[in-house]
Amino acid sequence: AEVQKHTRLCSGSPSARCVSPPPRSIQSEVSFEGASGNLKRLYDKAAKMYQQLKKGEGRKLSPSKKRCKDIKRLLVSFMYLQSLLQPRSR
């Protein structure tokens, strides 16, 4: 199933198939070159968003917009906390 998603036709014979590896992402079970840099950028972005969310707390919002803001605050706070719990590299 997973391999089928990432199958593409090879140049040459139309019936020949090449299997390309699945895209690399934060959900990858196997570490890849650049993974730690990607994670660091994600944590840096979460820290920046966390600081921005703290600044904009005084506004009055409709209930639906407040709910969206609360969900965003929860997710950003979780990512920020996760970044604080990561061991510092070198």
Q: pLDDT per residue over 49-87, tens digit each?
A: 888 877 766 678 888 988 988 898 899 889 888 888 887
In a domain, 90, yes or no: no
Look at residue 29 and tell me if it is in a domain. Answer: yes
Domain membership flag for residue 53: yes
Cα–Cα distance for residue pair 6/37, rounded to 1 Å: 25
State the pLDDT at residue 56.
66
pLDDT band at 22 (very low <50, low <70, confident <90, very high): low
Q: Whole domain around residue 13: which residue ranges?
A: 2-85
- Is 56 domain-assigned? yes
Q: Is residue 7 part of a domain?
A: yes
Is the pLDDT confidence value at 90 over 50?
A: no
Here the tokens at position 25 are 């992402």
In a domain, 6, yes or no: yes
Q: Which residues face 19 on adjacent strands?
A: 7
Angle at CA 54, nearest 5°, toward 49 and 60? Answer: 115
Domain count across the chain: 1
